[in-house]
Amino acid sequence: MTSTPKFNPYLAHLHPAERATSSKVNAATSSKEPLFGFLPRNVSADQVRTAIEHDLNPFTKQPHTPQYKKILEARKKLPVFAQMDEFYKIFNKHQIIVMVGETGSGKTTQIPQFVAYSDLPHTKNKIVACTQPRRVAAMSVAKRVVDEMDVQLGRQVGYSIRFEDMTEPGTTFLKYMTDGMLLREAMNDPDLNRYSTIILDEAHERTLATDILMGILKSLAQRRPDLKLIIMSATLDAIKFQKYFGITGNAPAPLFKVPGRTHPVEVFYTQEPEPDYVEAAIRTVLMIHRAEEPGDILLFLTGEEEIEDACRKIKAEADDLINGDPESVGPLVCIPLYSSLPPQQQQRIFDPAPKAGRVDGPPGRKVVISTNIAETSLTIDGIVYVVDPGFSKQKVYNPRIRVESLLVSPISKASAQQRAGRAGRTRPGKCFRLYTEKDFMSELEEQTHPEILRSNLANTVLELVKAGIKDLVRFDYVDAPAPETLMRALELLNYLAALDDDGNLTPLGNIMAEFPLDPQLSKMLIVSPEFKCSNEILTITAMLSVPVVWLRPNNQRKEADIAKARLTVPDGDHLTLLNVYNNYIQNQYDKNWTWNNFLSARALMQADNVREQLKRTMERFEVELVSVQDQKKMFLAIRQALCCGFFMQVAHKEGEKGNYMTVKDNQVVALHPSCGLDTQPEWVIFNEFVLTTRPYIRTVSEARPEWLLEYAPMYFDMKNWPDGETKRALTRAANKREGKFGARFEEGERAGEAGVKKRKKNKLQ
């Protein structure tokens, strides 16, 4: 290589810097290369600025489109752009950095591009990844960056979310992805060798996946000095992350800080605590409507019912105002917003405010009444007033009874700030907090508890063990979960035979981890071929993994209930779910059919999608897809397979009043009113424990004690059980059974192990 031809396909694959050193070519030709002189991980902002202005796209070597320059002018106005020099100074010097970028700083779109100029991942077959907590964000940011970089979506720049991989192996070097997706990858490739830099965006949201990734990446950074990490977060959490990612006993990780671009928001508190926050919220909205300048209102409430109720009341009161004095106030529209609303109705939040009732009359106003969805997931432009009663529904986990439930709780200071910020996106705004300043200062927690402290960790623990992390108690968590939560998870996985008594992954557990499911579900799915009903269990599993398919509109409850009764299988709710799905398929995914039967077409489509994904995983691990033809046998088989996964979620009837008592935890529960069983069987197996007006079990099927004893002998080993009616009933069943089956009971082999062992012998080894 002594001369540089005009085009050399070999040279084109070489890194420009390497080319420059490997051949002393004439500088005039080479400098036409946009990336000429770039040294990986040691580039300067000057170099990057020059490359960005180059006529050729540095990554495709194609001339830029006119659109590129136009977008570039807008990019240059972003606050991060002004601090490019500082960014490279810090990034070049450190392996891990923490970045704080307020709303509007441009961090999510720009920082990954800056990193691409530094890592030059396209020359080394590496990828720069940027994680997002939400799928829509990963998708829309990737699309934006594609335009900014003048490349094609799914080629050089792409995204990867569940059900959709918009990347091209070997070509994609910048990838936006959900945090859950990267965690999945880490499970199978603990060194994440494809990545040169990993950026965790929105780290302050502390999703379960991001928290686990922080732990994994912190230790990975020691094994892989070539891997760089950027943790992007809101201000309040930065110090915590800096300390966490600091080298032990040494300095905290360096901070790169960029201001945001928002407008000031004036905050008001109430003088006294409000006894009824919904009533106070309604009053405040109407007060704003009467007395404040034009501008839309965003009110935060906790759930669907509260929101629909408030919508009706505000509408009624506003109408009264107008009728009473049409001169003083303009028209007002109320728009509800929560996640179970169909997307079409969610779009209504972007409708413009209503026009004035008449020429020169007072202008109209839009009020969006929303759950927390408007705090992070959706931004509504034009909001000037925020009404914040200070509550949201939050997930809480009680490890003692293994129950996750939703509880209306006070929000955190961080959350309150986020809410207030929603008023200042387009111009200066006001935020009305329906609590006192004193309560804000002294009663609200600084941060919302990270999800890892509020969740059942069974799934997470299985993923961690699969990723090679065995000592879960001493794992370096940003915030360690309660030991009891970990213990409960390990215990469940052990009973399910996913982990052996030493906490090692079993062959069964190894396959279970591959399914994006709760361990009870993956266990039941994997063992279902032994019962000759895997096609059916696959469907039921998919139906249990999506939101409830039944619709029950307020004004058509009766009709909805009748429609549901037509599809109900009296032997159990799980069989009803199977029946609904099968009917949906028989009716060829017909939307009219779903509509006429008060079923959510969206949820059913999702179920079908999930079913396909699970099916592919089953095929990959040679979990057979089989059915028995005889319906009676099939119904039995399905409930037996259910027992293999859900034997820890069993309740026994106590007395004649329809009360049930959960086995071992001894919680008194009732069958949920949605339950379709036509009798009250002595033993039931349930999918879910819900704590609302009282404790209910939901999605329930009949179980038989002999199945429990046969498929979960370790769990139903009665030697160390407390005395009680449940124990007596089980003992009766056991005695009866022992007479019948004798020796087989002694084996004590847990269902599922046999099948996996067989497969292992044949295929896995």
Binding site for DNA (CB under 7 A): 133-136, 161-162, 178-181, 184, 207-209, 302-305, 338-340, 371-373, 377, 392-395, 406, 459, 516-517, 545, 547-548, 550, 552, 557, 561, 673-674, 690, 692-693, 696
Please give the Cα distance from 162 to 164 (Å, whole number).
Answer: 5
**What's the closest the beta carbon of residue 374 comes to DNA, in angstroms?**
9
Is the Cα torsion angle 96, 100, 106, 109 positive or negative in sign? positive
Least separation, in Å, of the C-beta of 198 and DNA? 16
Query: Which lies closer to DNA via its Cβ, residue 312 or residue 758?
Result: 312
Minimum CB distance to DNA, residue 522 (Å): 9
Q: Which is nearer to DNA, 545 or 640 (CB)?
A: 545
SS3 label, residue 627: coil
Q: What is the rounded CA–CA span in Å between residue 266 and residue 620?
A: 57
Separation of first and last alpha carbons in the chain: 49
Residue 692 CB, nearest approach to DNA (Å): 2
Minimum Å gap between C-beta 617 and DNA is 10
- Work out how close the CB of 746 gets to DNA at its nearest, in angstroms, rounded to a whole number: 37
Task: Give Cα 412 distance to the centre of its chain.
Answer: 20
- Residues paired with residue 240 on neighbouring β-strands, in sequence order: none
CB of 446 to DNA, least distance (A): 18
Region of 721 on the Ramachandran plot (φ > 0 left; ψ -120 to 50 alpha; else beta): beta
3-class state of residue 35 by DSSP: coil
HSE (side-chain half, CA atoms, 13 Å) at 376: 17
Residue 264 or 547: which CB sits closer to DNA? 547
**737 membership: H or E segment, kind and range:** helix 725-741
| 14 vs 401 by CB, closer to DNA | 401
Please report where in the chains the tokens 């085009």 appear, as a residue: 7
* DSSP calls for 666-722: --EEEE-TT---SS--SEEEEEEEEESSSEEEEEEEE--HHHHHHH-TTTT-GGGPP
Instruction: Output the smallest distance, CB 555 to DNA, in A.
Output: 11
Which residues neighbour 490 within 8 Å (Cβ) at sequence distance 6 or greater?
461, 472, 499, 503
Nearer to DNA, 148 or 179 (CB): 179
> Quick one: DSSP state of residue 550?
B
Q: To which residue do tokens 């769990």 refer?
A: 715
**Block residue for tokens 């050089």:** 156
Which of 465, 543, 501, 500 is closest to 756 using CA atoms? 500
Nearer Cβ to DNA (185/491): 185
Of 251, 247, 241, whose CA–CA distance to 211 is shortest?
A: 241
Smallest distance from DNA to CB 753, Å: 23
Min. distance of Cβ 557 from DNA in angstroms?
Answer: 6
Separation in Å, CA 89 to CA 77, 94, 480? 21, 9, 33
Shortest distance, position 108 Cβ to DNA, whole Å: 15
For residue 244, give both structure tokens.
């966490």
Nearer to DNA, 113 or 371 (CB): 371
Asked whether 529 and 626 are in contact (CB, 8 A), the reply is yes
Q: Residue 161 or 661: which CB sits closer to DNA?
A: 161
Of the pair 202, 710, the CB lying nearest DNA is at 202
Measured from the CB atom, the residue of 135 and 652 that comes closer to DNA is 135
| Separation of alpha carbons 118 and 226, rounded Å | 13
- Cβ atoms of 453 and 481 closer than 8 Å: yes
Rank residues 155 and 393 by Cβ distance to DNA and give the closer one.
393
Tell me whether residue 391 or residue 635 sits nearer to DNA (CB atom). Answer: 391
Q: Calculate helix-pair angle for 135-149, 107-119, nearest 10 degrees.
A: 60
Task: State the helix-helix crossing angle for 45-53 and 107-119, rounded to 10 degrees.
Answer: 100
Both tokens assigned to 182? 């990267």
Least distance (Å) between residue 600 CB and DNA: 9
- Shortest Å distance, C-beta 396 to DNA: 9
Nearer to DNA, 289 or 574 (CB): 574
The residue among 36 and 550 lying less far from DNA, judged by its C-beta, is 550
Least distance (Å) between residue 606 CB and DNA: 10
In the complex, the smallest distance separating the C-beta of residue 663 from DNA, rounded to whole angstroms, is 23
Interior angle at CA 163, CA 470 and CA 454, nearest 5 = 45
Contact 369, 361 (CB under 8 A): no
Number of Cβ atoms within 10 Å of the Cβ of 494: 18
- Residue closer to DNA (CB basis): 110 or 372: 372
Distances from the Cα of 572 to the Cαs of 362, 534, 560, 579, 687, in angstroms? 58, 18, 19, 11, 11
Closest residue by Cα to residue 69 from 181, 151, 149: 149
